[in-house]
Amino acid sequence: MSELHATGNLGVSSVPARALQGSLGVTSIVLMVVATAAPLTVMVANTPLIISMGNGIAAPFDAAIATLIMLLFTVGFVAMSKYITNAGAFYAYIQKGLGRTFGLGSATMALTSYFLILVALEAYIGYALGDLLSNFVGVHIPWYVLSVMVIALVGFLGYRHIELSSKFLGIALVLEIAIVLVVDLAIVMKSGLGGMDLAPFSTSAISSGSPGLGIMFAIYCFIGFEATVVFREEAKDPERTIPRATYISVLVVGAFYVVSMWCEVVGIGLNDVLPFATDHPGDMYLVLTERFLGRAAQDLLQVLLITSLFACVLSLHNIVVRYQYVLGGYKVLPQSLASIHPSHGSPHVSSIVQTMSSLILLVALIIGGLDPVTQIYAWGATAGTLGYMVILALTCLSVILFFRRLAGPSSVWATKLAPAGGFIGLATCLWIALENLPALVGGDTANVAAGVMEVVVAASFFIGYAAAIYLKKTAPGRFEALRALA
């Protein structure tokens, strides 16, 4: 972490003396980032929503548009990455473009958003694992017991060297992608190339239903791809590794979704897929797998769904831990969070704190009697995603403003046009999400839950924003040291 060894202009030491350790290459980073996107989980849990609440058979087109928006975002993100010298990710970008107060506000919002999504998934995996054990071996274990076990295991892996996590994520990711590609291949072989109808990309299909919601749900599927920058300190040759890993992540994930959703729509049937997705939101892809590969493949897919969820939880844990680590290094959060393990070279204290935070919140939700899927997962994931989209949009603005002030020649495409296009796409999807938030949440308390989500997301930003203003007035040395966050 040599880049973080600088002191603020007023001589305030802001960073730990040791650096995170790792020699992650492009492949390792791509595996961890794509694992966060959880491709199999997307196919099982998200595609029915894209089809039923979006524009039906045009789901692969929605995935293609989401990929385009993410690529536009990535152009500016990568162009500015050479000026970002730490694991701060979004708030480092936003601080350089919009200032330290907006930067710290985005930091607390990003940390909160990822944390909410993480806890939501930790609850969901407990439910899914309990269902798997019940169906396969007849063992009935409460979901919350399994969730606690998962949190503990993730905490153990997060405590140790980053390479251990990347190896597990690599194995899990290869397996989950393989099963989906086998399903794709079976559909193509049975249908023939001529049977891969282009109707999902037709104007009539695209304009049907609610294309805005379909694209919004497709953007949800990309959560975590920007985390390549979070692993900067642990990357080998980050100046080359980070840009390559980011572009590859977006392109691989996008192509995978477009092809697999196209095959899914064709496999179910163009005339049947919309009502089928509406009636079978939880098992549509499982039924599709059994139809083309048999019951054994369906059983295998259920097992791999658990590993997919676990890989996603582990990757998100690592991301949250590194957000806390950097903020601790600059004394925004307790400085102990910036401690590095002498043997593992990992932010072990931050990992322990994150593990305990997940346990405390989960226990509170359990005591409150919330359902693990319809409430904890649905509400947590939705609230976290709203914050995530706000941060993406702010990052696009920051790229434009940063390069406008930077002396010297720069690419108009990379520094203005592409980030502007990304901002427009993201802002539009965010507006659609807010307009349809009660419907997205669902349930009898949808309006109340939607209001709470909006308050939580907004408050998570203003807490950091207010903290920056407070530091500026009461501790100008620490506020000045925030410059080094970027």
CATH code at position 367:
1.20.1740.10
- DSSP, collapsed to helix, strand or coil, labels residue 24 as strand
Residue position matching structure tokens 């794509």: 34
In a domain, 12, yes or no: no
Residue 12 has pLDDT above 50, yes or no: no
Residue 410's SS3 state is: coil
- Tell me how far apart the alpha carbons of residues 348 and 315 are, in angstroms, rounded to a whole number: 15
| pTM higher than 0.85 | no
User: How far apart are the C-alpha atoms of 467 and 388, rounded to whole Å?
Assistant: 20
Query: Do residues 293 and 186 make contact, with C-beta atoms less than 8 angstroms apart?
Result: yes
Residue 208 lies in a domain: yes
List, in sequence order, every residue forming a beta bridge with 184; answer none if it has no partner: none
Look at residue 374 and tell me if it is in a domain. Answer: yes
- 3 lies in a domain? no
Grade residue 21 by pLDDT with cuts at 50, 70 and 90.
low
- The Cα 142–Cα 294 span in angstroms is 30
Tell me the β-bridge partners of 13. Answer: 7
User: Does the residue 53 lie in any domain?
Assistant: yes
Tokens of 33: 């980032």
Residue 472 lies in a domain: yes
pLDDT at 295 over 70: yes
pLDDT at position 8: 31
Contact in structure between 181 and 40 (CB atoms under 8 Å): no
Please report whether residue 99 resides in a domain.
yes
Residue type, 313: V
Instruction: Calculate helix-pair angle for 378-405, 90-98, nearest 10 degrees.
Output: 40
Residue 145 lies in domain: 20-485
**Does a structural domain hold residue 1?**
no
DSSP bridge partners of 24: 235
Question: 43, exposed or middle or buried, with CB in 10 Å at 0-12, 13-18, 19+?
Answer: buried
Query: What's the Cα-to-Cα distance from 240 to each of 2, 201, 336, rounded to whole Å?
Result: 17, 36, 31
pLDDT of 64 above 50: yes
| pLDDT band of 6, cuts 50, 70, 90 | very low
Query: Measuring CA to CA, how many Å separate 56 from each of 49, 66, 379?
Result: 9, 16, 24
Using 50, 70 and 90 to split pLDDT, how confident is the model at 486? low
> What SS3 state is found at 13?
strand
Inter-axis angle of helices 238-268 and 59-81, nearest 10: 180
What is the pLDDT confidence band of residue 13, given thresholds at 50, 70 and 90? very low
Question: What is the model's pLDDT at position 20?
Answer: 52
Count of structural domains, the chain = 1
**What does the pLDDT read at residue 263?**
97
Ranking 65-74, 102-111, 264-273 by mean pLDDT, the lowest is 102-111
- The pLDDT value recorded for residue 74 is 92
Within 354-404, strands assigned E span: none
Residues 18, 24, 30, 35: what is their CA dihedral angle, to the nearest 10 degrees?
Answer: -70
- Cα separation, 346 vs 46, in Å, equals 33
Interval 339-350: pLDDT, tens:
776 676 668 888
Is a pLDDT exceeding 90 seen at residue 183?
Answer: yes
pLDDT tens figures, 193-223: 888 999 999 999 999 888 888 888 898 888 8
Q: What's the pLDDT band for 234 if we cut at 50, 70, 90?
A: low
Model confidence over 81-108: pLDDT tens digits?
878 765 556 878 899 999 989 989 998 8
Question: Which pLDDT score, from 0 to 100, does residue 149 have?
Answer: 95
Closest CA to 235 of 83, 79, 29: 29
